[in-house]
Structure 1
């Protein structure tokens, strides 16, 4: 009989640091056989390129949340296919806008087809200490992610003072009184949780997700094929960031290929390995109304040909 696969769900709002956290776990487990299901709202996955490596079983599910009825069956099918792979661990990185409240229903469906192949070890929620309180006020999704997690990991703690950090911990405990809370530096922490049964901290039962086709955010992709000046890119982002949950992608800048990441008011740019194409993915707060001002800002601030879809 095949040994059960340890299943971990990784949640957290857009830009919290889930992919960095996952990449570090994969380094920790480099001697193990691991599968990853990666979920992004964009039409094109960006983060899959960041963690892709030889020997990793990777499936990407884009264009929405894996907990929404629009992709729930795709998610279950991917889990069924992963069950046939020779892996010891399966990590599911959900979209930052995903509400995992119905994970129990999806797991039950997989079990009915494949038997007790997965051992659900728990949900790990990465919370961005810099932006968490503002995000919590704006979106129910953020509260649901905390409510249904079994380990909370606070990222970017170096960017907030001790008073703000204490307030975040207190708020998390109000939503989920049982969850253990860890702090991480650059996505790293003690990985002893891999030997622990996080399900002992279960606080809330499965419920209907708030992810439905009707509230699915509008996602746009900008493709271009010319190098960019950092200043022009920054000016463009300054024009549209107030209307975007998240902006991320790759571009050729003065120092070569760079990874672009925007959460809230913060723009992070870091060098990366060569890519096949330049692109930016924008998740809109205001739906398709962002299209016209985004095109105008690109023409005025950047001024090179691009295609938006």
Structure 2
């Protein structure tokens, strides 16, 4: 029986998982590929970016697929995907997900459906400009766990760091996981030779309980807006709240059209989107829990002034 090649994508918020996934889907455009996409927010953003004709896509939102709150949904999605005729399945986990228990979940799927999947690798995307700061943050154990349980690490955005910083990043990765293969990339663009390699030979870490729980799930908010706004006004608003958020992303109608908005560590990027009639909406993942709500409303009132909607 033909097995489905299974790849798990991990990496902290803003590391470039979706960009890498788009590259992988383009490389495999002649293959039958499915994607399970996991986001912490109620509104899925990234699924819009990768969807294409003939691709199987399931989205699991509002938490981590490795947490007890969504673990069953994840297993059910994999069982459902196994019914479809596919060559590859990519699972893009949320940037705050801890995949330490993925082996246990895969065993559960196999007990129901049999050995329909061949687990090829966990691939961890590393945000080169921000990684060293992330790894020192005691509240971000997930960054270390993602690396510990990966079989290949892709150090992304290397165009934004100097050689000295890159060496420090590579040394730190090897300190955490000296077995994983390491690739260097910009914009998630690498050689896809790894698809033909046995990356599971790099397996060394034993399955363990995930750190994702209902209690430590970050506060995630959705901001929607029906009016007109300029890029300069939106930038001013984002500048006021970005230090209080792990990640802000979404789509917004601006003076030059619908823009994909991406904010990581106070860096704001805009990219014109081909998405038609996209609703202006942002997903905000808070660093400070519900305490971010008041600053969001205050910053919006100061910079835009007209009514928007903020929801859980």
TM-score (norm 1): 0.98
Q: Does the 8 Å contact 1:39/1:60 carry over to 2?
A: yes
- The residue aligned with 2:309 is 307
Q: Does the 8 Å contact 1:177/1:203 carry over to 2?
A: no
- The residue aligned with 2:169 is 168
CA distance in 2, matches of 1:218, 1:137: 22
Q: Does the 8 Å contact 1:249/1:259 carry over to 2?
A: yes
Unaligned runs of 5+ in 1: none
CA distance in 2, matches of 1:174, 1:121: 23
Q: Which runs of 4+ in 1 moved over 6 A?
A: none
Q: Does the 8 Å contact 2:36/2:58 carry over to 1?
A: yes
Residues 1:65 and 2:67 are matched in the alignment: no
Residues 1:265 and 2:260 are matched in the alignment: no
Deviation at 1:242, TM superposition (A): 1.0
- The residue aligned with 2:73 is 74
Give the CA RMSD over aligned residues: 0.7
Q: Does the 8 Å contact 1:250/1:275 carry over to 2?
A: no
Pairs within 5 Å for 1:230-241: 230-241=231-242
- The residue aligned with 1:103 is 102
Deviation at 1:78, TM superposition (A): 0.1
Q: Does the 8 Å contact 1:101/1:144 carry over to 2?
A: yes
Residues 1:141 and 2:148 are matched in the alignment: no
CA distance in 2, matches of 1:185, 1:241: 23
Residues 1:5 and 2:16 are matched in the alignment: no
Pairs within 5 Å for 1:4-83: 4-83=3-82
Deviation at 1:254, TM superposition (A): 1.8
Point out the more displaced range, 242-251 or 224-233: 224-233
Secondary structure of residue in 2 paired with 1:20: helix
Q: Does the 8 Å contact 2:263/2:269 carry over to 1?
A: yes
- The residue aligned with 2:284 is 282
- The residue aligned with 1:216 is 217
Secondary structure of residue in 2 paired with 1:226: coil
CA distance in 1, matches of 2:49, 2:225: 20
Deviation at 1:136, TM superposition (A): 1.1
Deviation at 1:103, TM superposition (A): 0.3
Deviation at 1:227, TM superposition (A): 2.5
CA offsets per residue over residues 157-179 of structure 1, 9 Å max, x none?
01100000000000000000111
CA distance in 2, matches of 1:223, 1:280: 7
The number of residues matched between the two structures is 308
- The residue aligned with 2:294 is 292
- The residue aligned with 1:204 is 205
Deviation at 1:54, TM superposition (A): 0.5
Point out the more displaced range, 117-126 or 296-305: 296-305
Point out the more displaced range, 12-21 or 269-278: 269-278
CA distance in 2, matches of 1:198, 1:283: 32
Residues 1:227 and 2:231 are matched in the alignment: no
Secondary structure of residue in 2 paired with 1:242: helix
Deviation at 1:259, TM superposition (A): 0.4
